[in-house]
């Protein structure tokens, strides 16, 4: 059977070079980085080299990169410590953020009685900048948390603009950049974000490792305490092999960025063209059909499929070996709905099934042709 993996926004296939780096570390560097002997120092030097490499690609200091178990933990670390230790009393966010951000903020609201403002988003998922600016006119210590690239609809937020407006208003700015790290160049000297979260497995690195960028002198404190690892910001023996895998994935992503971006951009354009010509009544959610306002890595399509057939859609795609992600709030048989699409689509649109297709360097146009043929079978 054909297997087509179009769910690269969920996770990605690891690069062979990344696997080799990880395997090499597992075989040859088992020391605990906290040990002072040669075995320990050898592991320590690996993670410090990784930290430096990653910091280099983001144009920040190595000391500003804190390794975590992934993007979710990085979001939790930043948001929780900002409230607990930096005395943030007000968080501004949107309802289309990742659950790692939204659920953390909900918990903080309950536990610390902070106020939370949700910025309006329009039917394309674009945040209301003027509302953001007016919300920032407050005496309360405020943190803004808005993701760089939306994981469901692909919208790109102008984080430089948000960062600057936050700076002007003495607010802190955290961005979940899990969908952009490894896919877009980010110069954090130019973009004055205070905090950022990234995860290796979204760009062909290993699962279980990510990082928080924490701007110097921000006075955050750990949410996992114990040993003094990660400059006291994250306790626990470091996952040395995973850290080196993250480094390698980042290195390969950025060293090949232009070439690979072009390749994937071309796939997305081809996919959109094929959808338009074969399923003319399909619509695109958010700005996902716009090649400037949306990431080149994903597209979110609302399909003109009857509710009867819609119920079987993902199941049938899976049977045909096609892996993609549901993006509809009313996917039958599923208890999980998309909180993102629920925010931006109207009731009629929500009745139709939406699917997210997300691409990588390992995909081909042949695969797209196959998926379009499979999709056509469902169209009334």
- The verdict on 35 binding a second copy (CB under 8 A) reads yes
Mark the segment that binds a second copy (CB under 8 A) among 146-154, 167-175, 294-302, 312-320. Answer: 312-320
Report in angstroms how near the CB of residue 12 gets to a second copy at its nearest: 7
In the bound state with a second copy, the residue whose beta carbon lies nearer, of 114 and 163, is 114
N-to-C CA span, the chain: 26
Q: Which member of 36, 217, 277, 346 binds a second copy (CB under 8 A)? A: 36
Catalytic residue of the set 166, 302, 324, 330: 330
By CB under 8 A, name the one of 55, 163, 282, 317 that touches a second copy. 317
The mark string for 338-367 relative to a second copy (x by CB under 8 A, - otherwise) is ------------------------------
Residue number, 27 or 308, with CB nearest to a second copy: 27
The footprint of a second copy on residues 216-235 (CB under 8 A) is 223-227, 235
Interface pick for a second copy out of 238, 247, 251, 367 (rule CB under 8 A)? 238
Instruction: Tell me the closest approach of the beta carbon of residue 202 to a second copy, in angstroms.
Output: 9
Among residues 86, 89, 95, 107, the one that binds a second copy under rule CB under 8 A:
107
- Does 3 bind a second copy (CB under 8 A)? Our answer is yes
Count the neighbouring beta carbons within 10 Å of the beta carbon of residue 23. 12
Location of structure tokens 């054909």:
2
Is 71 a residue that touches a second copy (CB under 8 A)?
yes
- Segment interacting with a second copy, rule: CB under 8 A, options 253-261, 264-272, 311-319, 350-358: 311-319
Shortest spacing between CB 73 and a second copy, in angstroms: 5
Shortest distance in whole angstroms from residue 167 CB to a second copy: 27
* Total binding residues toward a second copy, as defined by CB under 8 A: 69
Q: Establish if 10 lies at the interface with a second copy (CB under 8 A).
A: yes
330 is catalytic: yes
Q: Which of 315, 54, 366 is nearest to 210 (CA)?
A: 54
Q: H/E/C letters for each residue in the chain? A: CCCEECECCCCCCCCHHHHHHHHHHHHHCCCCCCCCCHHHHHHHHHHHHHHHHHHHHHCCCHHHEEEECCHHHHHHHHHHHHHHHCCCCEEEEECCCCHHHHHHHHHHHHHHCCEEEEECECCCCCECHHHHHHHCCCCCCEEEECCCECCCCCEECCHHHHHHHHHHCCCEEEEECCCCCCCCCCCCCCCCCCEEEEEHHHHCCCCCCEEEEECCCCCCCCCCCCCCCHHHCCCCCCCHHHHHHHHHHHHHHHHCHHHHHHHHHHHHHHHHHHHHHHCCCCEECCCCCCCCCECCCEEEEECCCCHHHHHHHHHHHHHCCEECEECCCCCCCCCCCCHHHHHHCCHHHHHCCEEEEECCCCCCHHHHHHHHHHHHCCCC
Please report how close the Cβ of residue 154 comes to a second copy at its closest, in angstroms: 17
The alpha carbon dihedral of 117, 78, 86, 226 has a sign of positive
Q: Based on the shown chain and the rule CB under 8 A, indicate whether residue 201 belongs to the binding site for a second copy.
A: yes
Select the residue interacting with a second copy from 82, 156, 302, 324 (CB under 8 A): 324
Asked if 177 is part of the footprint of a second copy (rule: CB under 8 A), the reply reads: no
| Residues labelled catalytic | 330
Give residues in contact with a second copy (CB under 8 A).
3, 5, 7, 10-14, 18-19, 22-23, 26-27, 30-32, 34-40, 69-73, 75-76, 84, 98-101, 103-104, 107, 111, 199, 201, 206-209, 223-227, 235-242, 314, 317-318, 321-326, 334
């Amino acid at each position: 059977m054909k297997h087509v993996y179009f769910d690269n926004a969920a996770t990605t296939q690891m690069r062979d070079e990344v696997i080799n780096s990880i395997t090499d570390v597992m075989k040859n560097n088992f020391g605990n980085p906290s040990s002072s002997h040669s075995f320990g120092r050898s592991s320590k030097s690996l993670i410090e080299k990784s930290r430096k490499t990653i910091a280099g690609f983001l144009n920040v200091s190595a000391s500003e990169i804190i390794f975590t178990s992934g993007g979710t933990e990085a979001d939790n670390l930043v948001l929780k410590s900002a409230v607990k230790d930096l005395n943030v009393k007000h968080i501004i966010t949107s309802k289309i953020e990742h659950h790692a951000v939204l659920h953390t903020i909900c918990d903080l609201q309950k536990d610390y009685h902070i106020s939370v403002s949700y910025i309006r988003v329009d039917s394309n998922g674009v945040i209301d900048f003027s509302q953001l600016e007016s919300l920032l006119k407050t005496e309360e210590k405020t943190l803004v948390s808005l993701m760089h690239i939306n994981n469901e609809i692909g919208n790109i937020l102008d984080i430089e603009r948000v960062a600057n407006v936050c700076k002007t208003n003495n607010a802190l700015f955290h961005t979940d950049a899990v969908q952009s790290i490894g896919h877009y160049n980010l110069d954090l000297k130019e973009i004055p974000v205070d905090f950022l979260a990234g995860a290796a497995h979204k760009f062909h690195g290993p699962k279980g490792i990510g990082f928080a960028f924490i701007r110097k002198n921000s006075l955050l404190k750990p949410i996992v305490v114990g040993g003094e690892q990660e400059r006291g910001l994250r306790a626990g023996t470091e996952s040395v092999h995973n850290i080196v895998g993250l480094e390698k994935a980042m290195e390969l992503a950025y060293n090949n960025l232009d070439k690979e971006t072009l390749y994937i951009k071309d796939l997305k354009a081809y996919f959109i063209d094929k959808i338009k010509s074969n399923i003319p009544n399909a619509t695109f959610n958010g700005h996902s059909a716009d090649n400037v306002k949306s990431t080149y890595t994903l597209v979110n399509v609302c399909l003109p499929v009857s509710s009867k057939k819609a119920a079987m859609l993902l199941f049938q795609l899976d049977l045909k070996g096609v892996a993609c992600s549901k993006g509809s709030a009313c996917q039958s048989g599923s208890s999980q709905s998309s909180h993102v699409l629920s925010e931006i689509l109207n009731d009629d649109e929500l009745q139709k099934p939406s699917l997210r297709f997300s691409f990588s360097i390992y995909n081909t146009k042949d695969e797209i042709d196959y998926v379009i043929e499979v999709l056509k079978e469902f169209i009334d």
